[in-house]
Structure 1
Amino acid sequence: MNLDEGPMQMAAKITGVQPGGLEQDSAPYFTNNEGIPWPDPAHSKNVGGLPLISDPFLMQKQQTFNRSKTLERMVHPSGSGAFGYFECTQNMSMFTKAGLFNEENKRTPIFLRFSTVTFGREFPDSGRNPRGFAIKHYTEEGNYDVVGLNWPIFFCRDPIQGPDVIRSQQRNPKNFLLDYNSMFDFLANVPESNHAGLMLFSDNGTPRGWRSIHGYGCHTFRWVNDAGQFVYVKYHYCNEAGRHDFTWPEAVQMSGEDPDFAKRDLWSAIERGDTPTWTMKVQIMSPEDANPDKLGFDPFDVTKVWPKDQYPCHEVGRIVLNKNPDDYHRDVEQAAFSPGAMVPGIEDSPDPLLQFRMFFYRDAQYHRFGSTNIHQIPVNCPFMARSFSTPNYAGSMRSDGNTGSNPHYAPNSFTDKYERSYAETPYTISDNIVSRKSHFWSEGKPDREYEQARQLYLRVMGESERCAVHNNTASALKLVGYPKIIEKYLGQLFAIDESYARGVWDQLPERGRVSWDSVKGISKNAAIEGKDKKLRPSTKEDKLVGVTPEAAVYQN
């Protein structure tokens, strides 16, 4: 490709949709950013050997260098990615009108970015942390983003606690040290976080590189078909080579030997033709079934899973990664994802965290780039879309056709190209009362809150996996400086299962700091930690619901 190509042409080539390998510089000589010939690379304009501020080449070179890094992502800053394709293997048009899922053997170009979550950009990528699994699908109906993790759940379900999850696992603002006090204090005071906490301190928290993880959409989404009927779905991306993890000692060793192991492993595999692959599967639930009283779990609570024995997985397609980025800054660092980027046939659900992520992910990217025009960056460009003409007007760094000759307001008397048939499919929620009252079915109820974590610990994990959890947890918990935090955290583990708490407690080097009787007593009220009685659910109607309306909402 040529260096002066536009974003759509570049996007088609960097994704591999059109031929064009590494950039070819066809210019006969070097220039500065204004196209003025560059005299020499080794000598500044000077007087008596002293550099002059009137040297535009020197000044622009340094100014560009000073600004060559974008703002670091607040979350998921350390990562890498690759291009490839999604291939549909099962026609799902019965459930969704989304074009990428309704034709067998159809291939959709993708970009997939992997990352750690709370570690900084230069931090070793083998450390204990969740892993990001974000896919951008370049479809004929626009770009579709799935912004997930290597686990099917998250640490919180109310969006107001989202920043606290991240801050509790980031560096202490006072001394810039990793803060084990804050991490365990959050887990001790947020009962629902300990399902993900169990996964974090299992060997699943230290995967053997990006190529060795499964991926999950985490949230519940709606699929809508051409008839306007919808179902709820959960996404699973199953690694075809299997999941492989480091033990904690192996992760510590790899962090020192090769801090970029996961990035290097992915890059090297693709370069030698060893393409990573995942099988995409979905769990499907009818809106009539999406009632926690009937199910025994809340289908819209992102701290919980859908049991596979109740809702088995159905294959949809495959992900294949076969092309490394040509330029890390352009293709990886500037990639921007948003759960709100949904194409027709895929819509939101009553999951509160999803609802808010649909806004704040895009807003975070706008802040990071200082512009709303991130769609002009090639990796974010909807180059496969059948139509692209947006009424969103102007803004910093806008360099495409803007609105062209269209009026920059709507409605107007000149253009009406809106596709009203794509209006979102209505659903009915539980009530119409504005308040801060919780609608989480499990809140404050230990039999509901801890059951899935208990099943993961006792039934899914084997003895060796449980031992690893005990050792991994204790190795971090021993760094906590406040006995009351340790006791409250162990109280959460006791509420999951006594043997879980005991297994961790037995590995602590200074057990005398902690009273086992206190742990046992704390466990009795662990489920209501951080949950004020005034705001807890109190009626059968206090739950998340999303059902088909009894009567038509839109007019014919």
Structure 2
Amino acid sequence: MSEKPVLTTRQGHPVHNNQQQRTVGSRGPATLENYQFLEKISHFDRERIPERVVHARGFVAHGEFEAYGTIGTGDDAVPASTYTRAKLFQEKGKKTPVTIRFSTVIGGRDSSEAARDPRGFAVKFRTEDGNWDMVGNNLQVFFIRDAIKFPDVIHSLKPDPVTFRQEPNRIFDFMSNTPEAMHMITWLFSPYGIPKNYRTMRGSGVNTYRFVNAQGEGVLVKFHWLTQQGEHNLTQEQADAIQATELGHASKDLYEAIERGDYPKWELNVQIMSDDEHPELDFDPLDDTKIWPREQFPYLPVGMMTLNRNVTNFHNENEQAAFGTGVLVDGIDFSDDKMLVGRTFSYSDTQRYRVGPNYLQLPINAPRQDVVVSTNQDGGQMSYHVDKRGANPHINFEPSTIAGLREADESYREYRPFVSGQIMRAPIERENNYKQAGEQYRKFDDWERDELIKNFVTLLSQCEKVIQEKMVWHFSQCDEEYGRRVAEGLGLDYSAVRA
């Protein structure tokens, strides 16, 4: 007798024949009461959930984050508690389980991982105070600074709604009317726009957050993941060669590295800034199209992440994995970053649409087992357990004199920044759209600048002349040579365009 487990239906009924439907005679027709077949085929019809609008293609791995207990290095290091009361940072050697999802932003679920595209870098920390999601990208900046433009920038980068092709004319039509995007596209169309693989790319929180300590004092903070494998990128030619034979090279590379015990590592660094407007800077520190200069705001190490375990089921742990910028723990707080506020609604909203209102009950999204989840939330699609309620299951509201749940004790001082002003729709005062783009162009190595110019010329040559001219004008505002080289590559009269 075979030791293999017995095949059953979802109801637990043993399946005696999985080869044929129930039919009238051997040739049919099939009967309507084919319960086993109907369960099997109807589930098959529903095996896919809606793919993400952005970050559709991705790959998940698991591991741990080990805190240094300090922020900074050497004699300049200070206890983590100086800036934040978040428990995962407080003790040297403290380990927190993590789940990370790497992804591409624009392509569909089965698109190429060698495409020129920002890469998602989303980390779920399963802390003793519940989950913290750090949802970022490989590049340190973004295309826009206000979330109201997010649907527009993504629409411009997605395929044409008629031809269903990613059209340069559409992309640069939007970018040429969005000066703040010059910094991001300078990074994106350089070799940094195609990381060699997930293991050798850096990560960035992009948005600005706040650290809050036990005294209720707050500072602004930016997060950076520095790969310990060395940072490596691809030229367009190298990427094209990979894409000719392989669409999932980066997922394959990560999976195989972990399987052979070559566990990739990233060091988490933070930049700290006092929480005020900083009029001495020529940019707004809450503007996500800007980088905080390292010479003024140095990288301060806080811990190391190691990935040491692969997924056991792609759908359950990847497709249904849910991250959100609003998922914070005590000691980490929101800033007034306009993109962060918009993302915080959008990310959790899309998970409720894709996976369902009870997506947080799924093991991949739930807090770790020693964290007790106690809510008064009930029902909804695919609810499969009731959150802990306390002594009386009849009480699903608060406050209650009889039983039910109570509010947690306020053990720390709340950080209360002062905000005042007129309510308005207005741009920030210090836009400075071109300076950092020009500085980055000049920082690139010669071969990186050559690659950047070649990539722009190749794509802009497919665009209408008016869009070419507008893009060249923007590049000229970043750096004179930058604009001139693109103009020459396109055969444009640079002096006329720049006038």
- Fold-level match, TM-score > 0.5? yes
Secondary structure at the residue paired with 1:378?
Answer: coil
Distance 1:424 1:62, change over 3 A: farther
Unpaired segments of 5 or more residues in structure 1?
1-25, 522-556
Distance 1:406 1:284, change over 3 A: farther
Secondary structure at the residue paired with 2:199?
Answer: helix
The alignment covers a number of residue pairs equal to 481
Aligned to 1:358: 344
1:313 aligns with 2:299: yes
Shift of 1:68: 0.3
Aligned to 1:234: 222
Shift of 1:67: 0.6
Secondary structure at the residue paired with 2:489?
Answer: coil
The letter for the 2-side match of 1:455 is E
The letter for the 1-side match of 2:232 is H
Unpaired segments of 5 or more residues in structure 2?
71-79
Question: Contact between 1:491 and 1:519, CA under 8 Å: does it hold in 2?
Answer: yes
Aligned to 1:455: 439
Rounded to whole Å, the distance in 1 between the matches of 2:6 and 2:369 is 34
Residue of 519, 523, 537 corresponding to 2:497: 519
Residue of 330, 338, 342 corresponding to 2:316: 330
Rounded to whole Å, the distance in 2 between the matches of 1:423 and 1:506 is 60
Aligned to 1:213: 201
Shift of 1:442: 2.5
1:96-495 matches, cutoff 5 A: 96-287=84-275, 290-369=276-355, 371-402=356-387, 404=389, 405=393, 407-413=395-401, 414-421=403-410, 425-429=415-419, 431-438=420-427, 440-443=428-431, 448-458=432-442, 460-480=443-463, 482-495=464-477
Shift of 1:149: 0.3
Question: Contact between 1:141 and 1:385, CA under 8 Å: does it hold in 2?
Answer: no
TM-score of the superposition, structure 2-length normalised? 0.93
Shift of 1:384: 4.4
Residue of 42, 66, 83 corresponding to 2:62: 83
Secondary structure at the residue paired with 1:322?
Answer: strand
Rounded to whole Å, the distance in 1 between the matches of 2:305 and 2:198 is 14
Rounded to whole Å, the distance in 2 between the matches of 1:232 and 1:161 is 24
Question: Contact between 2:325 and 2:347, CA under 8 Å: does it hold in 1?
Answer: yes
Shift of 1:295: 2.3
Question: Contact between 2:399 and 2:406, CA under 8 Å: does it hold in 1?
Answer: no
Rounded to whole Å, the distance in 2 between the matches of 1:136 and 1:276 is 17
Question: Contact between 1:90 and 1:315, CA under 8 Å: does it hold in 2?
Answer: no
Question: Contact between 1:292 and 1:441, CA under 8 Å: does it hold in 2?
Answer: no
Secondary structure at the residue paired with 1:82?
Answer: strand
Aligned to 1:529: none
Secondary structure at the residue paired with 2:407?
Answer: coil
The letter for the 2-side match of 1:492 is H
The letter for the 2-side match of 1:462 is D
Aligned to 1:17: none
Distance 1:403 1:317, change over 3 A: closer
Rounded to whole Å, the distance in 1 between the matches of 2:99 and 2:240 is 30
Q: Deviations over 1:513-549 (max 9, x none)?
A: x44344213xxxxxxxxxxxxxxxxxxxxxxxxxxxx
Shift of 1:491: 1.2
Q: Deviations over 1:29-78 (max 9, x none)?
A: 22111111112121111113223332111111111111101100000001
The letter for the 2-side match of 1:318 is M
Runs of 4+ in structure 1 deviating by more than 6 angstroms, as ranges, are none
Which is further off, 183-192 or 404-413?
A: 404-413
Rounded to whole Å, the distance in 2 between the matches of 1:519 and 1:38 is 74
Question: Contact between 1:134 and 1:337, CA under 8 Å: does it hold in 2?
Answer: yes
The letter for the 1-side match of 2:336 is P
Aligned to 1:4: none
Rounded to whole Å, the distance in 1 between the matches of 2:430 and 2:283 is 8
Aligned to 1:502: 484
Q: Deviations over 1:389-440 (max 9, x none)?
A: 01222221111124641622333323352125278522122x33122122x1
Secondary structure at the residue paired with 2:301?
Answer: strand
**What percent of counterpart residues are identical?**
36
Question: Contact between 1:467 and 1:503, CA under 8 Å: does it hold in 2?
Answer: no
Rounded to whole Å, the distance in 2 between the matches of 1:196 and 1:420 is 44
The letter for the 2-side match of 1:313 is Y
Question: Contact between 1:394 and 1:402, CA under 8 Å: does it hold in 2?
Answer: no
Rounded to whole Å, the distance in 2 between the matches of 1:385 and 1:181 is 53
Residue of 13, 17, 21 corresponding to 1:36: 13
TM-score of the superposition, structure 1-length normalised? 0.84
Question: Contact between 2:212 and 2:333, CA under 8 Å: does it hold in 1?
Answer: yes
Rounded to whole Å, the distance in 1 between the matches of 2:409 and 2:117 is 43
Question: Contact between 1:140 and 1:384, CA under 8 Å: does it hold in 2?
Answer: no
The letter for the 1-side match of 2:421 is N
Rounded to whole Å, the distance in 2 between the matches of 1:434 and 1:111 is 39
Question: Contact between 1:487 and 1:518, CA under 8 Å: does it hold in 2?
Answer: no
